[in-house]
Amino acid sequence: MLKGPLLHPGLLAALAGAGHGSLLLVADANYPASTTAGPHASLIHLNLRPGMIDAVTIVAAIASAVPIEQAYVMAPVPDGPYSLEHDPPIWSDFAAALADAGSDVALEPLERQAFYALAATPQVALIAVSGETRLYGNLMLRIGVLQAPQA
């Protein structure tokens, strides 16, 4: 039996195979995961039903298991309900989940097509599809490095 906040065998396997610089995508329920996946991405569906399992819960579990050095969110479209002056509410929840796990990174917005292009690269090791229904609930994480213990 594993001891820790992350117990899902598929997520653990994907994280174990990833390393520094690898990308991990937590996708919302609207994300086209099967048609935008990179060639090396493990695609794991955690979307039991709308709203379950939510993206923030998945982010918290992943961030508890690996160091995070960068975090990208999909920027709102200019004519949509949000703008860069009014961030989607889920972004503050992502930032809080990362901070709670000890990751001191800022969320970096990427234009939608640039986000899709990044998700299609060979650096993507994992796409975890959530049941998240809040708008702009996609978060791409870049794995950092483990620091050597201080002697």
Which tokens sit at 113? 């097509």
Residues 49-72 pLDDT 10s: 999 999 999 999 999 999 999 999
Domain ranges across the chain? 20-143
Tens of pLDDT, residue by residue, the chain (151 residues): 566 788 899 999 999 999 999 999 999 999 999 999 999 999 999 999 999 999 999 999 999 999 999 999 999 988 777 765 678 999 999 999 999 999 999 999 999 999 999 999 999 999 999 999 999 999 999 999 988 777 7
8 Å CB contact between 103 and 145: no
Q: Are 6 and 61 in contact (CB under 8 A)?
A: yes
> The domain 20-143: what is its CATH number?
3.40.1650.10
What's the pLDDT score for residue 113? Answer: 95
